[in-house]
Amino acid sequence: MLQVQFIRDHKQTVLDGLAKRNFANAEQIINAVLTADETRRATQVSLDNVLAESNKLSKEIGGFFKSGEVQKANLLKEKTSLLKEQSKEFTETLNTVSEELQELLYQIPNVPHASVKAGKSEADNEEVYKEGTIPDLGENALPHWELAKKYDIIDFELGTKITGAGFPVYKGKGARLQRALINYFLDKNIKAGYTEVQVPHLVNTASATATGQLPDKEGQMYHTEVDDLYLIPTAEVPITNMFRGDLKQENDLPISVTGYTPCFRREAGSYGAHVRGLNRLHQFDKVEIVRVERPENSYQALNGMVEHIKDILRELKLPYRILRLCGGDTGFTSALTFDFELYSTAQERWLEISSASNFETFQANRLKLRYKNKEGKTQLVHTLNGSSLALPRVLAGILENYQTADGIKIPEVLVPYCGFSIIE
């Protein structure tokens, strides 16, 4: 959530940033925020003045009673009664306008970083890096869903029987390869300085609101109505909320955390061949990295996260590219996002497998997550997160790019985790 003072002091910067996102009615909403904020501040001043006057009169009343001047005391009591009514009215107005202001702020996405280009969709994203060799698999290359059936390692139909489409069952070496990837990703993250955590897979409304899933993406999350809990769409939500409401000291930062969780997304409106097999699921596994940083260090930290993900993909020897997302494709809460895509040779297209994002103070403002610097000044931190990695499309890429006439070879770095080197 943007800070009101930032909007007040940098209105044109905010409007220019929202224009990159093609955000509708930006000026109207920003003006409404500034009007509500002006009303809120004026009401607060009036309330403070009334309370101050009331406190002053209360002291005078006490003095008159002590000196026996009861009539003067009673006259002042009548004035304090009027002040109490005014105080009540101002408090009600303040609460109403504060709620209106909050609802307006919830509608406004983050301001993109200066390096983010304007654009309408993923077609306008910028490729900033590419690495790896796309293998020549010949004419008989199979997509991963056919390989999964051929080698009996993933059963999509069984998942549909148990739950529904988008909930596959991993079997035999498929399940072992899935577990191997999780352990490998976690080990890589731990070696890079991240602390592993295991977190709940359901969160409350406060947690979903703090990281920006609510009220923006409620239609994409599974909701348990009886308990009013949400199944997590990513481990970013519970991990980041570990620090909600905290006041850190400067020497506590940076904070680097990693965790594995299943993730649950309704993916409403997703249909067609592009979502076949593992391309898009309702339940999938992902290993996440989250960082809490001092503002002046956050973009260096983002670059470090990008390099870390690169290193993983190099070890897996998968062809990949990195995109800097344009304004129209950047997530609601993010200031800058880099997407990683690997090339699916059998499908002949790029598949998103990771993203690394800097939210700057947007999440921290909702989280009320602050730190006190060496000078004793309290300010909001910057939060960042990345996938390292989302498993379904990585697994799809391995199955497709490593297929041979003899079977599916396992990337060398994963063999110690799997206990086998080929799926035959």
Domain boundaries, the chain: 4-106, 122-423
- Give the Å distances, CA to CA, from 162 to 201, 202, 234, 284: 20, 21, 23, 15
Sign of the alpha-carbon torsion through 409, 411, 416, 418: negative
Question: Binding residue per annotation — 100?
Answer: no
Question: Binding residue per annotation — 266?
Answer: yes
Question: Binding residue per annotation — 289?
Answer: no
Q: Which residues of 121-139 are buried (b: 16+ CB within 10 A; e: fewer)?
A: eeeebeeeeeebeebeeee
Question: Binding residue per annotation — 21?
Answer: no
Say what the pLDDT of residue 274 is: 63
Q: Which helix (H) or strand (E) holds 55?
A: helix 26-67
Six-digit token string for 423: 């799926």
Say what the pLDDT of residue 388 is: 95
**Strand ranges (DSSP E) for 124-252?**
126-131, 154-155, 169-170, 195-196, 202-203, 223-224, 229-231, 247-249
Say what the pLDDT of residue 91 is: 97
Q: Is 172 strand, coil or helix?
A: coil
**Strand ranges (DSSP E) for 46-177?**
126-131, 154-155, 169-170
Say what the pLDDT of residue 269 is: 54
Hey, what CATH topology would domain 122-423 get? BirA Bifunctional Protein; domain 2 (3.30.930)
Asked, colleague to colleague, whether 4-106 and 122-423 share their fold, the answer is: no
Q: Which of 275, 61, 86, 260 is nearest to 165 (CA)?
A: 275
Asked if residue 388 lies in contact with residue 145, where contact means CB atoms within 8 angstroms, the answer is no
Question: Binding residue per annotation — 139?
Answer: no
Q: What are the φ and ψ backbone dihedral angles of 188, each rounded to 5 degrees?
A: -60, -40
Say what the pLDDT of residue 272 is: 55
Asked if residue 358 lies in contact with residue 299, where contact means CB atoms within 8 angstroms, the answer is yes
Say what the pLDDT of residue 134 is: 93
Question: Binding residue per annotation — 355?
Answer: yes
Say what the pLDDT of residue 70 is: 77
Q: Which residues of the chain have pLDDT under 70?
A: 268-274
Question: Binding residue per annotation — 27?
Answer: no
Say what the pLDDT of residue 61 is: 86
Question: Binding residue per annotation — 385?
Answer: yes
Say what the pLDDT of residue 100 is: 98
Domain spanning 4-106 has what CATH number? 1.10.287
